Chain A
Amino acid sequence: MGISVIADTGADTLTVIIEDDGCGMNEEQVKKVTDPFYTTRDTRKVGLGVPFFKMAALQSGGSFEIKSEPGVGTKVTAVFGLSNIDRMPLGDMAETIHMIVTMNEETDFVYTHKIDDRGFVLDTRQMREILGGLSFKEPEVSSYIKEYLEENIAESGNGTVI
């Protein structure tokens, strides 16, 4: 699973890309997925995650695209207007990614964080290789990952928060 947050101050864009090599969706499902009244769950009739994500991108003067192929995977690309007043703040990415990574140990994640030419990549496969069988939930490991994200995100921003 890949998650990328890329800010380009020159082009005034903030691009968020989420991609996986999961089961994918067929053309019909891709068309319907941005509809708030479409969901594959049977617990209720609405699914708001993707529609909200699309709305947030479009209201900041950006764009939104989903590419998917059954059996191959899905790639969601949302482009936001970086300085647009209607762009919602990115939020606490360190905490968000820390939580996703430590709570889903059966999935590999590659998190890319870039602001112009400053940035870093966190690849859980590299971390797992170093750790052997040691869990991301071990307190020392967990707080290392949190600090790794916090420090590197702060340094990528070089004083600015996106």
Chain B
Amino acid sequence: MKSLEELKAIREKMQGSVAFRSEDTNQTRVVVGMATCGIASGARPVLTALSDAVQSKGIKDVAVTQTGCIGLCQYEPIVEVYAPGKEKVTYVKMTPEKALEVVDRHLIGGNVVTEYTIGALAK
């Protein structure tokens, strides 16, 4: 069985080297719908892909969180991006692959991936 000893080692290793992050107003929130409808259509791997990518690419000021049913079950998995001072962007029918594209092009690059948004689908 894995023990908590390793966690102590991580803590010691990171002591001093990490500026403890706090939630600030400049933070972009990436929200994944994780109600029954979202999970049934594959939201969990999308959420995992997003949080893994944000962590591994070391993107600052982005918090990946989950929410309940957004009310558009037919478009699940849904990912919403709330950037401070900007209009909310709603991505629909997401997959882990599309999510990684959103990370690279939108969260890092700053450009909305228009083809995956709800607006593009409705047309």
A residues near B (Cβ < 8 Å) are: 41, 43-44, 48-49, 52, 92, 95-96, 99, 102-103, 120, 126-127, 130-135, 137-142, 144, 147-148, 151-152, 155
Nearest-neighbor residue (CB-CB) of B68 within chain A: A41
Question: Which of A43, A99, A133 is B44 in contact with, Cβ under 8 Å?
Answer: A99
A-contact 0/1 string along B82-108, CB 8 Å cutoff: 000000000000000000000000000
Residue of A nearest to B35 (CB): A49
Contact A134 B20 (CB under 8 A): yes
Contact between A155 and B48, CB atoms less than 8 A apart: no
B1–A155 contact, CB under 8 A?
Answer: yes
Total inter-chain residue pairs, C-beta < 8 Å: 68
Docked Cα-Cα span, A144 to B122, in Å, equals 42
Q: Is the interface of A mostly helix, strand, loop or mixed?
A: helix
Give the docked Cα–Cα distance between A147 and B58 (Å): 20
Q: Nearest Cβ in chain B — how far from A38, in angstroms?
A: 15
Query: Quick check: is B123 within 8 A (CB to CB) of the other chain?
Result: no
Say which size band chain B's interface belongs to.
20 to 34
Residues from chain B with Cβ under 8 Å of A142 in the complex:
51, 55
A139 to B53, CA, bound (A): 10
Contact residues, B15-65 vs A (CB, 8 A): 18, 20-21, 35-36, 44, 47-48, 51, 55-56, 58, 63-65
A-B contact pairs, 21 of them (CB 8 A): A48-B36, A49-B36, A52-B36, A95-B48, A99-B44, A99-B47, A103-B64, A103-B65, A130-B4, A130-B7, A130-B8, A130-B11, A131-B10, A133-B20, A134-B11, A134-B18, A138-B18, A141-B10, A144-B7, A148-B2, A155-B1
